[in-house]
Amino acid sequence: MTDTATTEVSADPVTTEPFICTIPTDGANQLRTLSDEAGLPVVLRDDIADERHFEAFGCKVRDANPETPDRVVPDITFVRDVHTGADVTMPDGRSIRFWGFEDPRSRVRRPFPSPMMRVREGQVVHTTLNASKNTHTIHHHGIEPTPHNDGVGHTSFEVDDVYTYQWRPTSAGSYFYHCHKNTVLHFELGMYGSLIVDPPEGEGFVRRGNDIVPYDREAIWIPDDVDPLWHDPEIDHSLGMNACPFDQGQHLLHFRPTYFLISGVPHPWTRTDPRVALQCQLGERVLLRILNGAYGTVEVRLPFDADVISLDGQVLGGPKTGRYSRPFTIPAGEPFWLSNAQRRDVLIAPDRTGTFSVPMDIRHWVRGDTHGHVETTITVS
């Protein structure tokens, strides 16, 4: 027999009446499983203080490969297979192993970073993850799908075979996707890629306030810091999680990066590598999308005045935010900062020819001292 329990989930901000959800229970003080199609676990809020349930909810994340709920015909699809073998040679000759996602429809094998996803506002998107070995997820960072499709294992499940995430972006801007299993390690290992949401006009156009403006050229810069110890091929892929709840295994207590990259290219090759260094013509309007993929804070200086139009995928002065924000200018040479995972979209209009450096200092996120440096260039002809 089952009885029911009522749990206050949240207060309605308009009516101030609490929203009550009724969850069937088995009457025992255990993790309860809803008998829905996906069979996802439900933990009542009051139970989370219980040590056993904390462990179940926070540590022993469920593995599953359910059908996608409310699946509809998508406008665009992506497939991402997990790989664990991208070896990047550093300037000192040392080879560092990265993990990531590869697109089986592409000829490029074992890329780092993972291949870009590019969609338009309002499209229904399917991302099919083939986890293959062990479990992983894909979290489309900054996008707001349902919990099933959010790719956060602790609030849904980790994929050990195949799952199709269904999502729909509503706001043009710069995002990224990454594995959200044992995130601190899997992200550091390279399981991320950029995710661009274009306005309905498509690539080559960007929202600026209430307008949609064209741009001539685009760069996506992802500064990153790498601690080679975290990339040891023999590493346990759940390392760090083993602290759950209080075992005596190895943990990722220290992060001491010694290599610094932009978009997968190690510094100082970032100064000239065409995957990073930007070439443009005088008078062109250039869109720079900068994502902090490092664990340190990144201080950026641009050689031209920067028209900041979007933060974290949210358009400044746009339809949703116009009452509270507007685009603003950062003068050439003035620093600005991005914390981990932050994105900043800026438009520049180079007004003189030459090659100009773009320095980025990577700072310790607590102490603030600079522990790394990457640099690329903008060449205007």
Separation of CA 372 from chain center: 22
Q: How many residues bind Cu ion (CB under 5 A)?
A: 5
- Binding-site member from 62, 80, 181, 207 for Cu ion (CB under 5 A): 181
What is each CA distance from 266 to 131, 138, 222, 273, in whole angstroms?
Answer: 28, 25, 11, 9
Give 63 or 121: the residue with its C-beta nearer to Cu ion: 63
**Least CB distance from residue 181 to Cu ion, whole Å?**
4
Q: Interface with Cu ion by CB under 5 A: which range of 103-111, 172-180, 253-261, 277-285? A: 172-180
Give 101 or 205: the residue with its C-beta nearer to Cu ion: 101
Give 159 or 378: the residue with its C-beta nearer to Cu ion: 159
**Least CB distance from residue 135 to Cu ion, whole Å?**
7
Rounded to whole angstroms, how far apart are CA atoms 226 and 295? 9
**Least CB distance from residue 84 to Cu ion, whole Å?**
9
Rounded to whole angstroms, how far apart are CA atoms 266 and 274? 13
| CB-based burial label for 81 (10 Å; 0-12, 13-18, 19+) | middle
Look at residue 52 and give its three-state secondary structure.
helix
With beta carbons less than 8 A apart as the criterion, state whether 203 and 161 touch: no
Look at residue 113 and give its three-state secondary structure.
coil
Q: Interface with Cu ion by CB under 5 A: which range of 177-185, 225-233, 328-336, 344-352? A: 177-185
Give 181 or 371: the residue with its C-beta nearer to Cu ion: 181
Interface mask toward Cu ion for 123-162; x: CB under 5 A: -------------x--------------------------
Give 136 or 344: the residue with its C-beta nearer to Cu ion: 136
Kindly calculate the radius of gyration of the chain based on its CA atoms and give it in whole angstroms. 22
Q: Interface with Cu ion by CB under 5 A: which range of 173-181, 257-265, 280-288, 318-326? A: 173-181
Q: Does 83 bind Cu ion (CB under 5 A)?
A: no
The shares of helix, strand and coil residues in the chain, as percent rounded to the nearest 5, are 10, 40, 50
Strand 139-141 and strand 306-311: the pairing is: unpaired
**Least CB distance from residue 85 to Cu ion, whole Å?**
14
Give 138 or 346: the residue with its C-beta nearer to Cu ion: 138
What is each CA distance from 19 to 11, 123, 147, 213, in whole angstroms?
Answer: 6, 31, 18, 42
- Binding-site member from 56, 117, 129, 179 for Cu ion (CB under 5 A): 179
Tokens of 95: 């080879």
Give 184 or 332: the residue with its C-beta nearer to Cu ion: 184
**Least CB distance from residue 222 to Cu ion, whole Å?**
18
- For residue 293, the one-letter residue type is G
**Which residues is 211 bridged to in the sheet?**
208
**Least CB distance from residue 186 to Cu ion, whole Å?**
4
Handedness of CA 94, 97, 100, 104 (dihedral sign): positive
Rounded to whole angstroms, how far apart are CA atoms 163 and 160? 9
Interface mask toward Cu ion for 189-208; x: CB under 5 A: --x-----------------
- Binding-site member from 32, 80, 186, 289 for Cu ion (CB under 5 A): 186
Q: Give me the residues that bind Cu ion (CB under 5 A), please.
A: 136, 179, 181, 186, 191
